[in-house]
Structures are given as structure tokens and as C-alpha cells.
């Protein structure tokens, strides 16, 4: 497979993943915490990753949209959050 064909196939796979998962909104950690504070008992999916340094990833939904953030330090989540620990969070694109 040529390089351009491989890139096209990868772009098509990402587009298909976005269609399957719906809209994912990337926000800064402070904005993510603000969104969580608007909810009672929000559900948060949390994962830790990184190759050279640890990163902390968070995913939650609010009013039908999925919000995602990534931080170099663990976030202090509001009281009442239900936390699901995931091995990995994969966001297309």
C-alpha cells in the first residue's frame, strides 16, 4: 500500500470512528471541571497513559455531548462523581 493510500485509509478510519462515537468536544482541564460542577453525580471515565511522561485523561457527557480533557497532573474531581477507571481512552483524530 502506498503512503498516500495508507494515509487515506487512516483518515477514513478516523472519520468512521467519529461517526460511530458521536461528537467529542476537547476542552481544557479547567473547563472540564466547570462542566462537571454543573451536574449532580456526574459519571467520569478516567485513564492514565503516556510514553515519556504520565498523562491523565478524562471523559464525561453533558447535555448529549461527550467532553474530553487531558492533563499532565491528576484533576481533583468534584464530590459525588462516579468514576470509572479505564485502561485507555481513545479519541479519534
Sequence ranges of the domains in the chain: 23-93
pLDDT of residue 44: 97
Fold designation for 23-93: 3.30.720
State the cell numbers at 79.
464530590
DSSP for 2-67? -HHHHHHHHHHHHHHHHHHH--EEE--HHHHHHHHHTSSS-EEEEEEE-SSS-EEEEEEEETTEEE
pLDDT band at 17 (very low <50, low <70, confident <90, very high): low
pLDDT of residue 79: 93
- The answer on pLDDT for 76 being more than 70 is yes
Handedness of CA 43, 18, 71, 52 (dihedral sign): positive
pLDDT band at 38 (very low <50, low <70, confident <90, very high): very high
Higher pLDDT, 20 or 86: 86
pLDDT of residue 81: 95
- The answer on pLDDT for 93 being more than 80 is no
Amino acid at each position: 500500500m502506498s503512503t498516500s493510500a495508507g494515509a487515506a485509509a487512516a483518515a477514513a478510519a478516523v472519520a468512521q470512528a467519529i461517526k460511530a462515537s458521536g461528537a467529542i468536544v476537547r476542552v481544557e482541564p479547567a473547563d472540564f471541571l466547570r462542566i462537571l460542577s454543573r451536574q449532580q453525580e456526574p459519571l467520569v471515565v478516567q485513564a492514565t497513559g503516556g510514553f515519556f511522561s504520565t498523562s491523565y485523561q478524562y471523559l464525561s457527557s453533558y447535555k448529549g455531548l461527550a467532553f474530553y480533557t487531558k492533563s499532565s497532573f491528576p484533576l481533583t474531581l468534584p464530590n459525588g462523581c462516579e468514576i470509572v477507571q479505564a485502561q485507555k481512552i481513545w479519541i479519534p483524530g
